[in-house]
Structure formats: structure tokens, C-alpha cells
Amino acid sequence: MCSNIESTIYQVSMNIKTKRLIITEFNESMIESVYLNSQDEDNKRFVPDEVYESIDEAKEVVHYLINQYNSQDGPFVYPILLHDETNIGYVQLVHIDEGWEIGYHIAKQFTKLGYATEAVKAILPFAMEKLNINQIYGICLEENVASYKVLEKAGFTLEYKGLSTYLGNKRLIQKYKYSI
């Protein structure tokens, strides 16, 4: 019975609505906005592996991410939309050695409005249930003040601060954990 429930959970469509946001699943209509959002300076600085050289590359990535929704391994990446369906970024769940990590990016023109914190808080209950976990990590570069402020506002606690491998390079990071 449990495996049937778990199997069902992995196939649930994502559609979380908050006061200002919709967190949902990718579809073909979002490819251009994914490409455009990947081009902002913060994305290039903090997550250069998520910068796409062309709309065709963004299309490949979106198709891959759509296929991942039915997997058990992820990554699970969900676009964050305003209620008018403007795609402003994403929130993601990625498997790491210690368990699962949450990540997020809000396009530069939509930052400093609390959207990332709102999205992270909204997805945590879904993530914990979907992945059948009671803790999740958030890892960011120490210089990415906005990112670790989001984690702190969402209820994560600092677990480690120091040198670690980040995107293949030794960097100063901050590692947070959220537990229920």
C-alpha cells in the first residue's frame, strides 16, 4: 500500500497558489521566459550552470525537467508565476549526498519583493510530503546575502559556514537546514 501511495505522490501535479504566486509545472509556453530569466546578472554570477546560450538550449532543459516530474530522483524544478502568469523564476528540489536541497531563483527585475521567501515557504510542505523527508537543506555562496536571507526568513537554520565544493570549485558557502 505504501508504495502505491508514494507512486501516486510522485505523479501529483504541482499547483500551489499563494497570495501573489502560482508554483506549477513547466510547459512548452514557458521556454522563452526560462531563457530570458537565465540571462540576468545574478543567475550568471551565482548559478552559471543555469544560464542558457539559446532558446533551443532552454527548450531542451524544459523538456528534460518536464520528464523529471514522473521520476523519483529529480531534479524537480517548478516555475514561479505571478497571478497574471508572468514567469518570474523557479524553485527546485535537488538530490544531494545528505538528502535533498532546495534552490530558487527570481529574475532580477522581480527581486527584493519577497517572492523567493514566499515561494520557499509555500513549497516546503509539498516537498516534505513528495519526497517523504523531514529535513531539507539550502546551500548558497556566502556572498549571496539575498539567498541566505530567504532561507533564514523561511525558517532554515545555519548548519555550516566555510569552504566547500560549490559547482565544482572550492568556495565559501553557507549551508542551512529546515526540519519538521
Return d(Cα 36, Cα 81) in angstroms, integer: 14
- Indicate the CATH number for domain 2-179: 3.40.630.30
**What confidence tier does 11 reach under pLDDT thresholds 50, 70, 90?**
very low
- 56-101 residue pLDDT tens: 999 999 999 999 998 888 999 999 999 999 999 999 999 999 999 9
Amino acid identity of 18?
A: T
Per-residue pLDDT at 41? 87
Q: Give residue limits of the domains in the chain.
A: 2-179
What does R_g of the chain's alpha carbons equal in angstroms?
Answer: 16
Q: Is the pTM of this model over 0.85?
A: yes
